[in-house]
Structures are given as structure tokens and as C-alpha cells.
Structure 1
Amino acid sequence: MSQTARTHGAQLRIPATYMRGGTSKGVFFRLDDLPEAARVPGEARDRLLLRVIGSPDPYQKQIDGMGGATSSTSKTVILSKSESPDHDVDYLFGQVAIDRAFVDWSGNCGNLSAAVGPFAVANGLVDPARVPDNGVVEVRIWQVNIAKTIVCQVPVTDGQVQESGDFELDGVTFPAAEVPVAFKDPADGEGAIFPTGNLVDDLAVPGVGTLEATLINAGIPTVFVNAADLGYTGTELQEAINNDAEALARFEAIRAHGALKMGLIKELAEATARQHTPKVAFVAPPASYSASSGKAVEAGEIDLLVRALSMGKLHHAMMGTAAVAIASAAAIEGTLVNRAAGGGKRNAVTFGHPSGTLRVGAEASLVGGRWVIDEAVMSRSARVLMEGWVRVPAETL
């Protein structure tokens, strides 16, 4: 027997599903299917998910795992039947770092939220009595990371989740069935949509300057700044930002100082251990541009331009949670997002992003001197790409 055979056991086989949700992809697990050591939060779970995705990878390719070497494809989801009678499924999201041994549990993935509903129906996490033979089933999701409710409207045909359709989503090549998603009371924390109490703050960032910024906790903590204040037009595509090391360093500095001002961290150095949140985005009034696919986006068909960074890189489209933040900020007069959209009261906006456009809606009201968002809504799509078992070396656990 070889030395390798004596010292290394057979790989672990773990039931898993590889799904696209919105403009993201991730590996989905049922909690009960995980090895026992990984069924609870901790180092064993993190080690497992890192190995599944193929991190840490100094080559930043995740060749030896399921990840796609981008923030949109280095994601994991753990689902279980909810213990709450008001919800069908508990949804836990882990954003896996690419070149570091780190899983960020600090926020949600809005795009993959659209896949949670279909997965829950297909895997028996929703009471079968509530699933029609033909029609739509409302799946009530408890988002564990941020302690919020998400509601997916999942189409069903002949008792099965309907995945194919003609709904087109910019950033996704092929059409699929539409899955409307509502994020209930999306403010992070106890309704503190604006953690500083201001719609616009002066954010001092050494080496960058003092910038106007809207710091909002809705969907996901987000730092919005004006594109023009950074020398941008808001029409930039990925290569204009991601190939510029100095630009990425500036955005990371803005993100870190924004996190500090929002109270998400106590010391600036803590920002490196919280890569998933907050997001940083820049906004501008409408302008025509050519999307990454070559599609022409005309100024007249959008209300504003938004570009957002995730895990240190400009996102190829828009994170679902950041879209919730955009909808929420646009609905409140005086924020930078609202100003870029032309100001005034509005309950929906269509914004331009690198891959095209997206329409999002939110209802805002001032209650007792505080802004409240009842819900933010958008349409996504989702599809199972592969299902079966994912394998990891036995020594992972």
C-alpha cells in the first residue's frame, strides 16, 4: 500500500445543489446533510465551506473547488426547515473569501435569496399542502444573518418548481421564470436606516478627501458617494475600475472609513475582517452608455446610474441587497441616491448598472422622526445548475 493511501482517507460526499440566483451562483446545502461537526457555527463549518469553494487560493482562481473566483460566485447557502411558525425556511449565507481563509457571515446575498424559495419548495422545506399543482406559492424565508424576513413568489407547474420562462434579467445571459422577491422591513438593526441620523454625511477619508456620503442600513449596509466627486461619470464598466489598483485602494479606504462612521467596526483595522459589509457604491444622474454585453442603455430609460463594489471589485451587475439599499435611499428625499434620480418623492426607480438596467421599488415613511421602509421589492430569476454530491478531502474536518 502506498504512503498516500495509508495517510489520506476517501473524500467526503455531501449532498449539495449548485444554483444560480439572480446574477450570483452558490453551493446550497440542507443543514441536516452537512457532516455533524459542520451543523453548528464554528471553525469546522468554515473549513468545510472554504474547501468546497476552493479557498484560500493565492492564484485567485478557485480551480480546486466550486467557486468561480469572483464575489458573485464564491458563495454558500445553508437551509433548514424553520422553527418559526411564521416562516417556512431558515436561510444562512456565507460569503467565502477567495485568497484568504475567511467566511464572512455579516450579511445577506439578495441575489441568492431568489433561489432560496425554489430550493425550499423542491426540497420539501415548504408544507406540501401549501404548494399548488399550478400557480404560485409564497415562501416565507427567515434570513438568519440579518434577522429579517424575505418573501419569494415561486411559480409552480404540474406540482414542480417552474424554472424556465421568458423573464430577462440584465447580467444573466438566458431567460428564466420570474421570481418576485420582497425584503420586509429591510433596515439593519432596530430600524436605524441612517446610523448617523443624517441623510448625507461628510465622510473624511485620508488620501481621498472629504466626500458627501449617504450611509444607509437597508438590505445591506451601504456607503453611497457621488461619482463626480471621484472623477467618474457613473457609466464605468468593470475594467475601468478593477484594472486600476489605485482606484480599488481608494474605494477600500472609503468603505473602511464608512464602516467606522456607521458603527459597524470600532477600529479601522477591523474592516479587513469584514469584507462583505458594508458595500460602497457611486451614483450619478442618467447618461447613455454601452453595457458590458454591448447593449445600448439610453439615458431616457433610466432614473440614475449606480456602480457598486463587492469584495473589493466592481460588481458586474448589481448585488440584490445593494439594490434594496438603492430602492430605499431613492425613496427618501435628500439622499445622494434620490438626488441623482432627480429628487422628489418616488416609490420606484430604474437604474443603470454595468450589465444593463434594473427596476426596484420601496415605500418609505417618516414615523416618529425616523424613516421606515416597509418593504423593498424586485424581480429576479433562479435555476438549478447541478445537483448531487460535492466532495472534499476527508482531512478537511
Structure 2
Amino acid sequence: MIHAPQIKIPATYMRGGTSKGVFFRLQDLPFSAQVPGPERDALLLRVIGSPDPYGKQIDGMGAATSSTSKTVILSRSGKPEHDVDYLFGQVAIDKPFVDWSGNCGNLSAAVGAFAISSGLVHASRIPDNGIATVRIWQANIGKTIIAHVPISHREVQETGDFELDGVTFPAAEVQLEFIDPAADEEGAGGAMFPTGNVVDTLEVPGVGTFTVTMINAGIPTIFINADAIGYTGTELQEAINGDEKALAMFETIRAYGAVRMGLIKHIDEAANRQHTPKVAFVAAPVAYVSSSGKQVTVADIDLLVRALSMGKLHHAMMGTAAVAIGTAAAIPGTLVNQAAGGGARNAVRFGHPSGTLRVGAEASQVDGEWRVAKAIMSRSARVLMEGTVRVPV
């Protein structure tokens, strides 16, 4: 029997922060996949190697973790004062599902570099040497990200001595600014705290009743105190990801929190919205040993944070969740702010399973509502492979 050959699609495999993903220019996708819908989703699922009942993604570009089962589609921006539109698809590993409900903050670090190298940024905006400022429209959530990309001889500089916990090798530093991280798609102030409260009581049937902070900044996130769920905040992946009862508890908290935040109407809908919201637990700083064996001391950090992504404890920290952490830390009374010692602050350094991360945010009250103009953090990015990806049709 003769079968149709695989199609070839120009693509680039990139690391951004502590994530990896397959990057496409919108114009390079098959015509049917250039618009949202089942044909686009089916294509990206096959590229990544999902759904895979073995949970390995052997027959695709994914690497069987939430941090590596990712796709990005970029195009020249139609938005005023923006260079590129950035669309992110989180691909489920064992289900036929692509979640378009949120951003990937880590891969945001690679968007500017890819946009420049792919000709999506006007040449006049690229210096001979120095820093190129790339204005990114994050299309999933309707927000602006500014990437400061180092340039050498008019090309993206990827090598450098910037070290990022969770990434083995140093690279060039890319500073990211997440502008008005709680804004809605029209740029107006969105509901940073969907309930109007910096702390709430969340009832989770069959699990318990918890004090939580539910915030929409960077990505919708539910923060809970570590000791309320039997943890210390120093846990590494193996302490949670091998515990099916614990994972079920977190998913139940996530589902009920999503309803409370107004993201879904019924907990049954949470299964089709896996990327958001995130669940994170926080604690006051104590010393621990990171997954690489690095000793993290109390003096190194302001608080401890552990977060789950796509149903598993993340090996480091999602970039968007880091924005939520920095924003919540800047607002007195949130659980994040309390874990960091309370009081006013414009930056926080937190401990995660792979080490530490610093994120800055300045909060202010406007007409009784908390606002954050921007959150800032540094990541790095690098092209791993470029050429064409082959996809069976």
C-alpha cells in the first residue's frame, strides 16, 4: 500500500528560560492551520507527538514534560506600536488537546530573538550592536511584553555568562517586561483579584477549607500556604509527582479555584483548561538543597514557592507564575507577601526546586484597585535546531 509522504514545515526548536518549544512563522504553516481550529490543533499535536498513552512523546518533538510540550506561532503584528504577535499553544501529553488559555513566560524570552532572526522585526529597529527592543503582543491573553534582546553585528547574541537556575549552561541575558500584567485585551485595568479580595476562603469538597490568594497577573494563579496542605515549601519534584493522591488534591483545588475565579462555570470544565489557573504553595524561607545539589540558604531568598503546571510540580518556575509571584509579593496582605515577611517591596527573590529567581514589580492603588504597571525579570534563550519539521498527513 502506498501512503502519502510527510509534509515539511519550516520550524525552529528553541529553549526559552526553563522551557523548550517548536517555533513557527504563521505564514509557514499549511493554509488550513493558519487559522484557529481543529486542523491547527491536530497539526501541532502531531508535531509534538501527542496524544501518547505511553506518556513519552517518542514520535514527536515533545519531551514528555509540561516544560517541553509547547508550540509557538509568530507573525508580524497588526497592533499599533508592536512588532510581533505571539501565540502560545500548550500541548497535552496524553490527551488530544491544545490549551490556548494562557501564555508561557519562559518561552517569551525566545520570542524576540526568533522574531528578529526570522525577519518579523523591521530592520530599522535592530542596532548594529547593543540591545534591540522587541514589542510583543501576547495574543492568548491580550497583553504586551517588551523583550530586550542583545545584538552583536546585527545578529542575535545567544552566548553569554548569564546563569539561570534550572538551565545547565550560561547564555546571554534577555530582560523581559510584562506590561500591566492584569490588563484586559483592550488595555484597560483588568481584575487582578477576581473576587476583589487579596485573600479568600476557598472550600474544596473532600479536601478542606483553605485561605488562598487568587490573582490574575501574568497568569491566573491560586496561592495557598504550604503548611495548610502538609508541605514545607522545600519539596522537589519527586516528593509530589510520584504521589497520585497529592496530584489529585492539587487538581481538585485548581478546579474549585478556577470556578471561584470565574474562569470556568463548573469544575468539570477544568479538564479542558489544563494550562490555567496554576496552583502554587508558599512558605517562609528555610534552607534546602535544590535539584542540582546547590545549597540554598535563608539569606538567598525572601520566601519559598512551588508551583504545578499541567498537573505536575514544575522543575523550576513558570515565567508567567513568576510574574504572579512578583506582583502578589508587592501587594500587602497576600499570602505571597506574608510569606516574604510582609510590608512594601518592589522585588522579591524566591526559592524554587532548581534554585532561586528574582522578579520585580511595583504596585499602587488607583481608585481603591491594586495596579502593577509592569513586572520585570531576566531569562535567556537559544536556538537548539532549525530547519524543517516533518509531519505525517
Q: Give the shorter-chain TM-score range.
A: over 0.9
**Counterpart Cα distance in 2 of 1:295 and 1:318:** 16
Counterpart Cα distance in 1 of 2:198 and 2:26: 40
Partner of 2:254: 255
Tell me the SS of whatever aligns to 2:220: strand
> Which one-letter code corresponds to 2:20 in the other structure?
K
Query: Does the residue aligned with 1:171 lie in a helix, a strand or coil?
Result: coil
SS in 1 for 2:127: coil
Cα deviation 1:55-74 (Å, max 9, x = unaligned): 00000000000001000000
**Do residues 171 (structure 1) and 170 (structure 2) align?**
no
Equivalences for residues 217-256 of structure 1 within 5 A: 217-256=216-255
Instruction: Name the residue aligned to 1:194.
Output: 193
Query: Counterpart amino acid of 2:112?
Result: G
Deviations 1:264-306 (Å, cap 9, x if unpaired)?
Answer: 0001100010000000000000000000000000011100000
What is the DSSP-based 3-state SS (H/G/I as helix, E as strand, rest coil) of the residue aligned with 2:268?
helix
1:125-204, aligned counterparts within 5 Å? 125-187=120-182, 189=184, 190-204=189-203
Q: Give deviations 1:131-183, integer Å, cap 9, x for gaps.
A: 11110010000000000000000000011100000000000000000000000
Instruction: Determine whether 1:86 maps to 2:81.
Output: yes
Query: Would you say 1:58 and 2:57 are equivalent positions?
Result: no
User: Offset of 1:188 from its aligned partner?
Assistant: 5.3
1:1-397 counterparts in 2 under 5 A? Answer: 3=1, 5=2, 8-187=3-182, 189=184, 190-394=189-393
Q: Return the alpha-carbon distance in structure 2 between the equivalents of residues 191 and 78 of structure 1.
A: 25
Paired with 2:338 and 2:370, the residues of 1 have a C-alpha distance of 17
Distance 1:30 1:390 in 2: 13
Task: Determine the C-alpha separation between the residues in 1 that align with 2:202 and 2:360.
Answer: 27
**Matched pairs, number:** 389
Q: CA deviation at 1:340?
A: 0.1
The whole-number CA distance in structure 2 between the counterparts of 1:369 and 1:266 is 28
Residue identity in the other structure for 2:380: S
Deviation at 1:124, TM superposition (A): 1.0
SS in 2 for 1:55: coil
Please tell me the residue identity of whatever aligns with 1:212.
Answer: T
Q: Structure 1 residues 341-350 or 199-208, which shifts more? A: 199-208
How far apart, CA to CA, are the structure 2 residues paired with 1:188 and 1:10? 45
- Secondary structure (helix, strand or coil) at the match of 1:65 reads coil
Counterpart Cα distance in 2 of 1:339 and 1:353: 17
The TM-score with structure 2 as length reference comes to: 0.98
Q: State the identity %.
A: 74
Deviation of 1:85 (Å) = 2.9
Q: Distance in 2 between matches of 1:296 and 1:334?
A: 30
Deviations 1:77-104 (A, max 9, x none): 0000111231000000000000000000
Distance in 2, matches of 1:267 and 1:303, equals 36
What is the rounded CA distance, in whole Å, between the counterparts of 1:117 and 1:22 in structure 2? 13
Q: Which amino acid aligns with 1:98?
A: I
Partner amino acid, structure 2, of 1:132: P
- Structure 1 gap ranges (5+): none
What is the DSSP-based 3-state SS (H/G/I as helix, E as strand, rest coil) of the residue aligned with 1:26?
A: strand
Deviations 1:287-345 (A, max 9, x none): 00000000000011100000000000000000000000000000000000000000000
1:275 is matched by which residue type in structure 2?
A: Q
**In the alignment, is the contact (CA less than 8 A) between 1:295 and 1:356 conserved in 2?**
yes
Instruction: Give the SS at the match of 1:111.
Output: helix
Contact 1:213 1:336 in 2 (8 A): yes
TM-superposed CA distance for 1:206, in Å, is 1.3
Once residues 327 and 287 of structure 1 are traced to their aligned partners in structure 2, the CA distance between those partners, rounded to angstroms, is: 19
Which portions of structure 1, spanning 4 or more consecutive aligned residues, are displaced by more than 4 angstroms? none
Residues of 2 paired with 1:219 and 1:109: CA distance?
Answer: 9
CA drift of 1:191 comes to: 1.7
8 Å CA contact retained: 1:188, 1:220: no
- The residue type equivalent to 2:8 in the other structure is R
Aligned equivalents of 1:299, 1:209: Cα separation in 2: 30
- Counterparts of 1:209 and 1:47, CA distance in 2: 39
